[in-house]
Structure 1
């Protein structure tokens, strides 16, 4: 009996592996050649492995209570591959589930079903023009943005990383920059090949030629001499956060728009993608992608406010230490931040609670906030203590936010876990802006406490890329 069970188990696993191996080349070709990105319940399969694909299908059961088999999604992917689609995101998992178990379960003609579901993009032309991108600064966020753009390299890719700008380099600087992109203590090795072109002062990564420009100020740069034009400059330095300072980038030849990867001051729009990206206009030349914490909490707060109403609340962030802190005790202009980051929990301030109102004005004046820096290198947590306008319970809030993570306009911002064993390191590399820890949710009447994880480096970088994409006019529809 045990031998028979083992044989059946092995046979089932073998089948999944074989289907995954057949699917991956098609998934890659669809993106590289046609900019059609395949997902399963919001999780991208771009550059996925066989195991990644199998695991993505397994997650469907957690949400729907029904196992989605790879042999059920395979014919749908095969049919999509034979269609002429404009650039888009297609959720293969949701299409397959609906066809086999949902609204399409009585449909016998798969091609008719897909033509209806994909009618917005079927037999449509790709009208997007490529846009050049420059990373001004190449620290933690800059290098992750580079990874995110390089992973999408292909002839259909329209967002092209053309250069990085760093301060004047000493001997060996180029190789060290490349090495930091190649190896990362938190996010692991770069997925691909990186070489250095010393003669042309450039980094080559997975077919991308990235010019390294040494300059101490935007006024020193002429991008056009490197063949760069109408570029979006992503300022990762934080040196300038107001319009006057950031406008200096626009004086450089070849630069057209600027995005700041920090909270903007004054009249600069602070964009939290999923919440207020509709505020981005083609005429905007300077935008801010706000902060990592603001990106983590605003989508969750917006979702809750729309369903229950929020009368007041306090946000406490438990944040990994950053490069702004000292490794060992030393002078620091800010209170407490001079103490060793790797040894202490450090109470400090955060403007994230107030910054929420810049992206979602309905909560203006309703939130307070504070922060504790802790001795971990990445992945933080926001604890939301909220007074709602109506009574509810834990199950209702968790179910509502789980559905928001799957089916709402916030599906790329809010993720959801029901694990009772998850810890911070499990969430390194999370692409969503935040992950609700549903098992930690506490509700008593109209008082709710929610625990929201976020990868303050990678998750935030994914949000920045979404803003860059919208600013470049390269947004594509998500189906279904």
Structure 2
């Protein structure tokens, strides 16, 4: 292919991706239809991101999916009365083109494949969400909720609750939402309404409320009712402390974005969200590390069985450490985070058992905090019940990442060049680094990357949806 033909091919793909964008936006905003390509979300995706999502199809099925082949499916989808679902046009297009050579039957094919979502009764009322705390996880949850803004959105961010309230606080909070040193600028506009003490982000009106205790707020004063309170502070971790939220008028359920104490259910989305019942009013989304390792451990245990194992977490430093040496109540965490590797404890290995009871008592764990601001790694060393090899284990995990019910939690890479900063913004709970896999006989060691901020926040959103009964139909099945 000549240089001119390469440029022409790129131009065609770019223009096709640009033509997709308004259709994808309208489908979500007006019908609640989220379009993906083999699990990669196209909602608010740039033209380059749409092109990259199509290029990844080769990894899934061994063959290309051209934008000119998928575009007719987006067009056909926009003509169908499909509502409140997630549609994988990548899978639909690949399956169609295996048996067809022209576009004449695409609309009828789509109508058949998406029959369960056509004229689907949209009788689920939107639910209010309040973020109690607005730190690293709180602001990323805000970004994720705001990107889904639209008439058909059922998960509505209504307020954030903060301690403080000093002069200039509101603009400072808005500025932290606008700009992030790790995750980059906010995708849109953020305005401040000083008179009403609110932040307006991409049309989402977010009431800012100041309080020193969870039971001090009357949410009904802000027209907020039956709300899910997402506690991002980490201050209250047991039923008594988190139960304080439920004393506030307008609050109905509480989700903790940290491991919980006592009998509170620790949920890893994709693994045990089915344990959530309508009666559960306080739930924990566990920790970032627990979310990263549990889906992989489940996959391995389902096929090979795990006799025992150890998880060593190489974790980016966090806000509970000191920038320079200073007093800290925890061992070693008082030493400068950007200058040291710091050995510390983690409850992630034990917490796995709450989400995956079959592994109770089989895992130990430890952690090393390292001088990076985001993206961590779990090294999982296991003794298996069944023999395997590196190639066999990798092939199984690759198939799990692409085809199984855990495909939204586990990603897989065979890159020999990937490093931690490449995973900033990953929406997966964990990413298996296949090049580092060690397996011989019944002994296996896996290296799992995870964006301990953004990937975890995506998992939290899944738990939020489950708690509020806002699960989405995914097609094709």
Please tell me the TM-score bracket, short chain as reference.
Answer: over 0.9
Cross-structure match for 1:49: 46
Which residue of the other structure, out of 25, 30, 33, is the alignment partner of 2:22?
A: 25
Aligned length: 476
The alpha carbon displacement at 1:138 in A equals 0.4
Alignment of 1:67-466 (within 5 A): 67-101=64-98, 109-466=105-462
Q: Secondary structure, in 3 states, of the residue corresponding to 1:48?
A: coil
| 2:63 corresponds to 1:66 | yes
The alpha carbon displacement at 1:449 in A equals 0.6
Residue-by-residue CA offset, 1:428-457 (whole Å, 9 max, x unaligned) = 000010011111111111111110000000
Name the CA distance, whole Å, in 2 between partners of 1:127 and 1:89: 17
| 2:5 corresponds to 1:8 | yes
Q: Secondary structure, in 3 states, of the residue corresponding to 1:170?
A: coil
The alpha carbon displacement at 1:17 in A equals 1.1
Name the CA distance, whole Å, in 2 between partners of 1:372 and 1:315: 11
Name the CA distance, whole Å, in 2 between partners of 1:135 and 1:219: 14
Q: Secondary structure, in 3 states, of the residue corresponding to 1:245?
A: helix
The alpha carbon displacement at 1:113 in A equals 2.1
Name the CA distance, whole Å, in 2 between partners of 1:157 and 1:112: 28
Q: Secondary structure, in 3 states, of the residue corresponding to 1:138?
A: coil
Q: Secondary structure, in 3 states, of the residue corresponding to 1:445?
A: strand
The alpha carbon displacement at 1:104 in A equals 7.1
Name the CA distance, whole Å, in 1 between partners of 2:418 and 2:228: 38
Matched-pair contact (CA < 8 Å) for 2:72–2:103: no
Matched-pair contact (CA < 8 Å) for 2:85–2:472: yes
- Of stretches 404-413 and 200-209 in structure 1, the one that deviates more from structure 2 is 404-413
Name the CA distance, whole Å, in 2 between partners of 1:152 and 1:63: 27
Q: Secondary structure, in 3 states, of the residue corresponding to 1:27?
A: helix
Name the CA distance, whole Å, in 1 between partners of 2:160 and 2:230: 9
Residue-by-residue CA offset, 1:104-133 (whole Å, 9 max, x unaligned) = 789972233222321221222212210000
The alpha carbon displacement at 1:328 in A equals 0.5
Matched-pair contact (CA < 8 Å) for 1:320–1:379: yes
Name the CA distance, whole Å, in 1 between partners of 2:128 and 2:80: 29
Q: Secondary structure, in 3 states, of the residue corresponding to 2:253?
A: strand
Name the CA distance, whole Å, in 2 between partners of 1:273 and 1:105: 39
The alpha carbon displacement at 1:61 in A equals 1.1
Matched-pair contact (CA < 8 Å) for 1:98–1:104: no
Matched-pair contact (CA < 8 Å) for 1:311–1:366: yes
Residue-by-residue CA offset, 1:276-305 (whole Å, 9 max, x unaligned) = 000111111100000000000000000110
- TM-score, normalization by structure 1: 0.97
Name the CA distance, whole Å, in 2 between partners of 1:381 and 1:282: 34
| 2:446 corresponds to 1:474 | no
Name the CA distance, whole Å, in 1 between partners of 2:427 and 2:28: 18
The alpha carbon displacement at 1:383 in A equals 0.3
The alpha carbon displacement at 1:8 in A equals 1.2
Q: CA distance change for structure 1 residues 23 and 394 in 2, over 3 Å: closer, same or farther?
A: same
- TM-score, normalization by structure 2: 0.98
- Of stretches 263-272 and 395-404 in structure 1, the one that deviates more from structure 2 is 395-404
The alpha carbon displacement at 1:331 in A equals 1.1
Name the CA distance, whole Å, in 2 between partners of 1:408 and 1:118: 20
Residue-by-residue CA offset, 1:216-266 (whole Å, 9 max, x unaligned) = 012210000000000000000111101111110000000000000000111
Name the CA distance, whole Å, in 1 between partners of 2:406 and 2:473: 14
What residue ranges of structure 2 are gaps of 5+ in the alignment?
A: none
The alpha carbon displacement at 1:92 in A equals 1.1
Name the CA distance, whole Å, in 1 between partners of 2:281 and 2:31: 29
Q: CA distance change for structure 1 residues 202 and 347 in 2, over 3 Å: closer, same or farther?
A: same
